Structure 1
């Protein structure tokens, strides 16, 4: 049976690219002598912020992504490295080639030994990295989580790309519109332990409980481990195991691109809807050939840029991570630290055949 994929309504208040560097909320900071919580945030301790302090020159910071060579995280990290040049810092990217739970641990230890002022981490597992991160914080190394959070007491700040709730619920809205609210759907995620993915999925599942989605049925969640070939195979497996499947949500840039590649060359093209989170450059061909109607994402360059300035502000003593503190982020302006150290970039942009050529990342 062929599913009619109609062009969905655009999500209201879709931001322009310039506005994608949304308000961020960062998490509590810590000092060398104190990593206990306070009212200001999970790790704010008794440190005192000096908002007038200049950014220190020569700061050494490092980006530790879930895995290197991930196209999305490469964009984020490169933007953060470029931002460091603006404030006179030195930045680099290091990390594992796989996205396993413990693969980041040895890199954290090495970066501490090398005397870095700040480590920025997109955690593969919120708990596996906690011990080494706490050890780093005890040596006055500032820890900024970005994209995928750690446990709250294991970092000073968390730079969140968008509201986790907004991301999760908007994914259900997108797939529902494409399927006229009826049919079996599945989720193709990254790793089973990924903090961000699991949080988004939780909100997707909650959104599905609403009466307006009674016609949708989530039949399976599978994991491609942010590996292109495994994600491709998982897509194939889903469609073979569930012959009535009408839609797939893949909230991972690796997963959605692999799923689109499989569907575009299969009998399912035009019959199975696909949405999720991807970059315009990855997904442009699949939008243009009709494989994908719409997908969403924020500006990953702005995410890396902001994370870099947040790390520098912490290491320079401008902020401690307490709720309500403010810091300047170069071309993105001033940002305010919110509850639990989370700074939210804002609602993602929805990309379709009408606007995708306006973006290049």
Structure 2
């Protein structure tokens, strides 16, 4: 995750763009005006065939987004559209801007984006929307004026607070802990961390101390190195929360080969397939995540619904999301996938993603 449960969780972050551009400036202007003026949803409108949907993850070749975007592609195939994936190899704040611009020029019908930075992508997304393109964020949100709807993994509060609860159970509610996040500007991680800090204020966690929030930038080697640094800086560290699939896997890899294995608890958001060996060798007891394939699937259907006029992004609107059934747009244009799952040795072999 980016992090992948990344499961109870919620919030998080990617976007869908629907391109309806014309061939002249006047055409583009009239289309943009028509798009903005069309504020009435028709839930009975059919899903348009042939929609072009592009997925723009925080970074390509990230296992979490590979799974999420495959789920999105399956949805696009189901409603007879065309899908593609593009994006940067790094998760820096502005790395997605040029890709948004290119997709706008290509007149994609839908772009699914997980924002590396909530604000850096907004000007480019606004240009896309002005060109008649619908924008849906998923996993990690952008500022609301840059998108139509946000597909949230789970309630951000549930995700943040549950991470603390899972770790606290493992360390007896006592000891120094650290957080290994993705990038400093990642909206989903930052929201979860705010709820983690608030949860830690409760009396039952008075024996726990958050000593550091480190950032691995969703890079495997940097996350590995940051884990090593945390243990060197805090030799009495008792636990680490890593709400990112890249981070938790890198941290588990370091712990599994160190003297801290079994002594420092690790939890966070990860996929069963990447974490299975660390659960079975005792490095990790429990972690969380939602099904990223379902997240991408829901984002694709939301984009299709927007592009087809079934929804406009207003609270209370509903649409059908294939195998996931009926979904309702909530406050501020947020659609929630559902609660995360806790994985451990007892159930991890029941999942394959």
**What is aligned with 1:103?**
95
SS in 1 for 2:32: coil
Counterparts of 1:347 and 1:85 in 2: how far apart (Å)?
Answer: 26
TM-score by length of 1: 0.89
- Distance in 2 separating the partners of 1:45 and 1:166: 36
* Counterpart for residue 3 of structure 2: none
Residue 222 (structure 1) aligns with: 214
Secondary structure (helix, strand or coil) at the match of 2:151 reads: strand
2: CA distance between counterparts of 1:326 and 1:119?
20
Q: Is the 8 A contact 1:34 1:138 kept in 2?
A: no
Paired residue secondary structure (2:267): strand
Name the counterpart of 1:168. Answer: 160
Judged with a 3 Å threshold, the aligned counterparts in structure 2 of structure 1 residues 87 and 46 are, in CA distance, closer, same or farther, namely closer
Task: Give yes or no for the alignment of 1:32 onto 2:32.
Answer: yes
- For residue 33 of structure 1, report the CA deviation from its aligned partner: 2.2
Tell me if the contact between 2:67 and 2:292 (Cα under 8 Å) persists in the aligned partners.
yes
Q: Is 2:318 aligned against 1:326?
A: yes
State how 1:124-139 maps to structure 2 within 5 Å: 124-139=116-131
What is the aligned partner in structure 2 of residue 276 from structure 1? 268
Is the CA contact 2:298–2:337 (under 8 Å) kept in the aligned structure 1? no
Give 2:51's aligned residue: 59
Q: Quick check: 1:205 aligned with 2:197?
A: yes
Cα distance in 2 for residues equivalent to 1:156 and 1:45: 14
Match of 1:339?
A: 331
Equivalent residue number for residue 72 of structure 1: 64
Deviation at 1:244, TM superposition (A): 1.1
- Give the drift of 1:57: 0.8
Distance (whole Å) between structure 1 residues aligned to residue 186 and residue 307 of structure 2: 27
Alignment of 1:1-361 (within 5 A): 32-33=32-33, 47-361=39-353
Q: d(CA) in 1 for partners of 2:147 and 2:203? A: 39
CA contact (8 A) 1:288 1:353 kept: yes
Give distance in 2, aligned partners of 1:200 and 1:34. Answer: 37
- Give the whole-Å Cα distance in 2 for the aligned partners of 1:345 and 1:87: 20
Q: After TM superposition, give the deviation of residue 46 of structure 1 in Å.
A: 5.4
Give the aligned length. 331
DSSP-derived class of the 2:223 partner: helix
User: Separation in 2 of the partners of 1:286 and 1:157?
Assistant: 36
> Residues of 1 paired with 2:76 and 2:110: CA distance?
12
Q: How far is the alpha carbon of 1:347 from its aligned partner?
A: 1.6
Structure 2: which 5+ residue stretches go unaligned? 1-6, 19-30
Deviations 1:210-247 (A, max 9, x none): 11110100000000000000000000000000011000
Return the offset for 1:295: 0.2
CA deviation vs aligned residue, 1:59-113 (integer Å, no higher than 9, x gap): 0010000000000011000110111011010011100000000000000000011
By how many angstroms is 1:260 displaced? 0.2
Please give the secondary structure, in 2, of the residue aligned with 1:136: helix
The secondary structure found in structure 2 opposite 1:101 is coil
CA distance in 2, matches of 1:346, 1:211: 29
SS in 2 for 1:32: helix
